Structures are given as C-alpha cells and as structure tokens.
Chain A
Amino acid sequence: MNLFSFARFGAVLFKEFVQMRRDRVTFGMMIGIPIMQLLLFGFAINSDPKHLPTLVEMADDGPIARAVVMGMQTSDYFDFIGIVTSQQEGDRALREGSANFVLVVPPNFERDVVRGLNPDILLSADASDPAAASGAVAAMSGIIDTAIADVLTGPLQYTAGAPPPFSITVHRQYNAEGKTSTNIVPGLLAIILSMTMVMITAVAIVRETEKGTMEALIATPVRPAEVMLGKIIPYVLVGYVQTFVFLIAARFLFDVPFIGSRLAFFLGFNLYIIVNLALGFLISTVAKSQMQAMQISFFTLLPTILLSGFMFPFAGMPGWAQVIGTTIPATHFLRLTRKVMLKGAALPDISGDMLAISIIMLVVVVIALRRYRQTLD
C-alpha cells in the first residue's frame, strides 16, 4: 500500500482546476480583488497632490530666499498662504492642518551664505498624510537647484557648480517613516495575498465538508496528503497570477519600481504564499461552514492590516502591538517586498524576514496537521 499516489493527487488537482474554472464569481474575485485594491489604494491616496497650503517664516528676505520661495511657488506644489512670525505659530498651523508646510528661513541667511557657512532652510512638513507631503518634498531639491542657478550670478558666481552654498532640511512631523504611495503599493501586495489566499483555501476545503462530497472522497482509498496538496496547489498558482497582475499594474499605473533581486522576491513570495495557504488549511479544520471559514479569515485579516506595518509604521506602534505584529506573516513579507522592490535588496538582505516567515509557517503547519483528520470525527 503506497503512501502517496501521484495519479490520485493529479486527479484531485485537475478536479480542483475544473471547479475553479466553473466558479465564475470566485475566479473573478481572485483576479478582480488585486486590481480593485490597487486602484482604490493607489488613486484614492493621490500620490502627487499639488497646491498645498504653505506658510513662510522669513527671518531674512534676501534675494536667495526670495528665489527659493519663487521657485516653490512656480513648481505648483506649494501655495503660499501667509507669513508666520514664530515657530509656535507655524507649528499650530501644521497641527490644525491649515497648512501642510512651513518654510523657515533663518536670520542672517544671506550673510551666512556669502560667508560660506552653509546655513539651513527648514521645511516643516505635516507628514501625517504621507502621500500628500512626499511629492512636494521630492520636488524641493530640483526647485533649489533652479533657484540657485537664477540667483547666483555676479559676486556669488564662484559658488555655482559647486554644491549649493546652503542646505534644506526637511522635518517631517507626525509620521516618522514618511510613507509614500510607492511604499504603500508593495505593502498592499502582502495584504491582498493574505486576504485571498487564506480565504479561498479555507473556503475551498470547507466546501467539500459542507456539501458532503468529502465523505465520498475519503471513503475512497485517497490519502490525506493527496487531498491536501491537490486542493492547495491550484491556489498557489492563483497567487502567482495575482502577484503577476499586481506587479504589472503597480509598474504601469503607479510607476512603482522593482529594483532588487527577482530571485529573492520569488523565493520570499513562494514562502509567503505557502504560509497563507497553510493558515487557510488550519482555518478549514476549525470552521464548520463556508460562511464561518469566511468570517474567521476576515478576522485574521484585521491584525494583518492594522499591525503589520501596512497601516501604521511598525516602529511607531506600542510594544505589545509590535509583539503581535511580529507573529503575523504579512509583517515580514511587507518588509521583504519593500526592501526588494524599493531598496534593491538581494537574498542575503532578506534572509531574516525569510527565517521569520519560515518559523511562522512551521508552527501553522504543525498545528494544522495535528488537527487534520482522515475521518469525519
């Protein structure tokens, strides 16, 4: 009596594909959800808003400072709405949200530039809405270069071509990490995969029990591993399709780059899919109906969204939330994806995240297998 029959495994696999193809709604959901989420998150959070209200505190209004303000105004990112005379006044405006930026030109700015002291212009940004601030902030260095080229003529000509004779410090308030939509999109992949993979697997397995087909199935000589793998592998492929669709959309709709190692991403992503499927399988051993499977899946989704670092910067969460967050696979996959896509990470850079996901997977699989019964008990 052999322990694993590829023929039976293949039959379960094939059957699952046929059923998946016939279930139009679920099939549509599997492809539709990633695109819909991406559009919602990507566009609702306007990645490049313009005309943001800006205050200015001019302790020195020499030609260079004026040129910077002028440049900012013409960039369309900043709308100067007034002047403040103290730091408190500027801070209050940021806190109340009446302004998104406060530009502070320090006293004796012009003199210090001439003396080569490299003074600082401070741009305080309300980064609580990270997407709002990021485009404008990113535009700053270009604005300054242009301003300098216009102003630094005559006696200050000698400084042109060299690094700018002053610097700009951006001070992001209320949101240390300063996420941008570029940052949100890779995180969204972690959420979408978790959402669909866990739920679809759990529901697909519970459906057999609920409809009674499991009874006829396990009355045949089929082995648990054949059923389990045969039912799960089609959804691995669904995960592939979802990710592919997602990455294409992210690239072409939102210009999210992918600069890191594809191999590293591929390995990490497979691991993440497996851990989600295992979680779905675990849920299927608990749920009594498809409805329950769906509800439990949604329940696991909440901490995934809130505590993985997707919604709030992980470092900013209280200790207990970080502890919970660490046990969530999405937390690690999200870091992994950001590192690879945005920061150009390679395999060694993500080994810690991979290890974390592997440990979670091991725990889930062990519990799931202990709960799985070959009988109807």
Chain B
Amino acid sequence: MTTEAELAIAVSGLTKRFGDRTVVDSFDMEVPKGAIYGFLGPNGSGKTTTIRMMCGLLIPDGGSGQCLGYDILTEPQQIKEHVGYMTQRFSLYEDLTIRENLDFMARMYRMKDRRSKVQKALADLGLSDRADQLAGTLSGGWKQRLSLAACLLHDPQLLLLDEPTAGVDPKARRDFWDEIRRLSAAGVTVLVSTHYMDEAIQCDYIAYIAYGKKLISGPAREIPRIIGLTTWRVEGPEISKLEAELRRTEGVDQVARFGAVLHVSGTNAKALDRVAAEQQKRKTHKWQKKDAELEEAFIYLMAGATDNFLTPAVPG
C-alpha cells in the first residue's frame, strides 16, 4: 500500500451532477507518484469531468481529495501552479502564432526565464523555423505536440492528459508515447485518458469508468485477474469458421483474433473450460490455456461499452 506522501492524486467519493444527471458518481482514485495511470472508459462516461474536478476547473458536488498534496476544494490555485493539463480539445489560440501561444502560457505561470524556455520548447518541438506560423494552420499531430509543449513549459510535477492522441496518426502517437515515458522516467506523474489499447497497455495502472462509476482499477498487470478473465489460445485450420462458431457458443464472452490465432475468453472459468474440453475432443485445433493479459482485458472492457451519453443502462 502507498502512503499519502507517495500519492500524486488521492480522491474519494468525487461526485458531479449536471442538472439532475449524476455524471460522476462517488469516484475514488489513487495515483502513485511517478506512475503512468491510464484512465479508460467509453465516450460520455465522465473522464473529462473527473479530470476537471481534480485540477479545480469544476467544483465537485460531493467528495474530497488532494492533488500533489493540495486540497482540490480549497487550494485549486496551488494545484494549477504545479499541474499541466492538456485538454481533450485543442485549446490554444488558433489566431496566435506558435511562439505567441507558448509565450502567453509562459507568462500565465510568470516564468522568469520565459524567453529562453520558449526558445528551447520551440527547438525541442522542431518548430523554430515555423514559430511565426499561426497555430490554427497546424495539422492535428502538430497541434497535439504543441499543446503538450505548452503545458510542460512550467515543469509540472503532474500531467493530466485528456485523450491526447485522439485523431492523431499512429506514428505521431508512438512519438507522443515515447515522450510520455521519458517524462515519467524523469519523475513526472501522468494521468492519461484514452480509448486505445496500444496506449492502455503502456500504463502502469488502469482505472475503468462507465456511466460515471468506477468499475475497476489497479496495477495494469492485475487487471485481467481483477476482471476474472480466463483465456484459451486456439490455433488451427479454418480459423474464421471456428471463430464464428465460438462467438455463438455459451460460456464464451469474447473471441479476439490475432492473425491466425484466437484468444477465447470468458469470466465463467468453468463454463469456458467445458467448451474447451468439448472442442479438444474434435482434435481439429490446438487449445492451450493461457494467462489473460491486458489486451484481452481491454477488449473485454471496451466491448460492452457503448457511448454513455444516453440514459444509463446496465453496463455490459
């Protein structure tokens, strides 16, 4: 267990209502210092709202907590000084140039060595020669890198990244994650919300939220166990036909295909083992029990997830 001092974020019971809708419901989260913490959940499940409450942009209707040791209810000003928040939507000024945007952000934090910091940020971005271009003319990937650079100017101890790579091409996404890992190695705590499996599996910790309620959280490695997922690896001929058959079979919750291999998973271990036993009698395919991994867990979590904007149903 971690103690208070080792936690960058510790919130409990966070609740937010808009009108008579409870958008975030008794949310608890503990983010250890230096961790990369993945925040998963379908659209409209309340991720953005939760992040906003953590950095003082929304006042919770219930609950309490601290962020970098500062109370989220009474010390938002201090939190803002030490947190870098990258919003889901591009939120720099499109009608200011790249340099003007960075300079403006640096001024908001009243940085002493503003000019050299901005100059360095531009150089790091590789945008020195385009510094006087309007930010609005940048492509999605560049906007995202610029946003990250802007919220790193004041050397924050905690980064809150709200779906930072949505709509960005895979190469840019990989580069972005290289940067996240570099920051993490340098001691920065990162809380990142995402939809992508390849991002989720790079996180040290995972929390999953649906309809404003946290369903699962813990170290990434333990998530499959927490879900209680049993997985079999299946290999053999005419794999597509088998895949279709298994999808209709009782006891099988999920079939994920990786090339010519199927990962067949279910939460009812006994039922799934029976299916496997039946199948093995046919001797057509090779069945092997394996440890469920984060991939399966992620697919399992996201599969039942539809957008949460409509009236809540029981999450699948």
Using a CB–CB cutoff of 8 Å, the interface residues on chain A facing chain B are 1, 5, 7-8, 10-11, 15, 18-19, 22-23, 211-222, 375-377
Q: A221-B80, A376-B58 are in contact. Are A213 and B91 (CB under 8 A)?
A: yes
Q: Is the beta-carbon distance between A216 and B91 smaller than 8 angstroms?
A: yes
- CB A234 to nearest CB in B, in angstroms, measures 14
> With a CB–CB cut-off of 8 A, which chain B residues contact A1?
77-78
Q: Is the beta-carbon distance between A212 and B89 smaller than 8 angstroms?
A: yes
Q: Is the beta-carbon distance between B90 and A222 smaller than 8 angstroms?
A: no
Give Cα A23–Cα B55 distance, bound, in whole angstroms. 32
Give Cα A128–Cα B172 distance, bound, in whole angstroms. 72
Give Cα A18–Cα B95 distance, bound, in whole angstroms. 9
Give Cα A357–Cα B52 distance, bound, in whole angstroms. 40
Which positions 61-104 of chain B face chain A at CB distance < 8 Å? Answer: 77-78, 80-81, 83, 85, 87, 89-96, 100, 104
Residue of A with least CB distance to B91: A216
B57 within 8 A of A: yes
> With a CB–CB cut-off of 8 A, which chain A residues contact B93?
15, 19, 213
> With a CB–CB cut-off of 8 A, which chain B residues contact A8?
107-108, 110
Q: Which of B59, B87, B104 gathers the greatest number of chain A CB atoms within 10 Å?
A: B104
Q: A15-B100, A15-B104, A22-B95 are in contact. Are A220 and B57 (CB under 8 A)?
A: no
B80 CB contact (under 8 Å) in A18, A220, A376: A220
Give Cα A4–Cα B107 distance, bound, in whole angstroms. 14
CB < 8 Å A-B pair total: 75
Using a CB–CB cutoff of 8 Å, the interface residues on chain B facing chain A are 52, 55-59, 77-78, 80-81, 83, 85, 87, 89-96, 100, 104-105, 107-110, 150-151
- CB A29 to nearest CB in B, in angstroms, measures 16
- CB B107 to nearest CB in A, in angstroms, measures 4
> With a CB–CB cut-off of 8 A, which chain A residues contact B81?
221
Q: A15-B100, A19-B95, A212-B90 are in contact. Are A375 and B57 (CB under 8 A)?
A: yes
> With a CB–CB cut-off of 8 A, which chain B residues contact A213?
91-93
Q: A1-B77, A1-B78, A376-B57 are in contact. Are A211 and B108 (CB under 8 A)?
A: no
Interface residues of chain A: helix, strand, loop or mixed (majority): helix
Give Cα A308–Cα B283 distance, bound, in whole angstroms. 93
Q: Is the beta-carbon distance between B58 and A11 smaller than 8 angstroms?
A: no
Q: Is the beta-carbon distance between B58 and A377 smaller than 8 angstroms?
A: yes
7 further interface pairs, Cβ-Cβ under 8 Å (given A8-B108, A15-B93):
A18-B96, A216-B91, A216-B92, A217-B91, A221-B110, A375-B58, A376-B58
Give Cα A12–Cα B134 distance, bound, in whole angstroms. 18
> With a CB–CB cut-off of 8 A, which chain A residues contact B94?
211
Give Cα A1–Cα B104 distance, bound, in whole angstroms. 20
In the A-B complex, the 3 residue pairs with the closest CB atoms: A11-B107, A216-B91, A220-B108
Give Cα A217–Cα B151 distance, bound, in whole angstroms. 11
Q: A23-B95, A221-B80, A221-B81 are in contact. Are A215 and B109 (CB under 8 A)?
A: no
> With a CB–CB cut-off of 8 A, which chain A residues contact B85?
216, 219
A215 CB contact (under 8 Å) in B57, B83, B104: B57
Q: Is the beta-carbon distance between A219 and B80 smaller than 8 angstroms?
A: yes
> With a CB–CB cut-off of 8 A, which chain B residues contact A5?
110
Q: Which of B81, B108, B151 gathers the greatest number of chain A CB atoms within 10 Å?
A: B108
Q: Is the beta-carbon distance between B57 and A218 smaller than 8 angstroms?
A: yes
Give Cα A19–Cα B94 distance, bound, in whole angstroms. 10
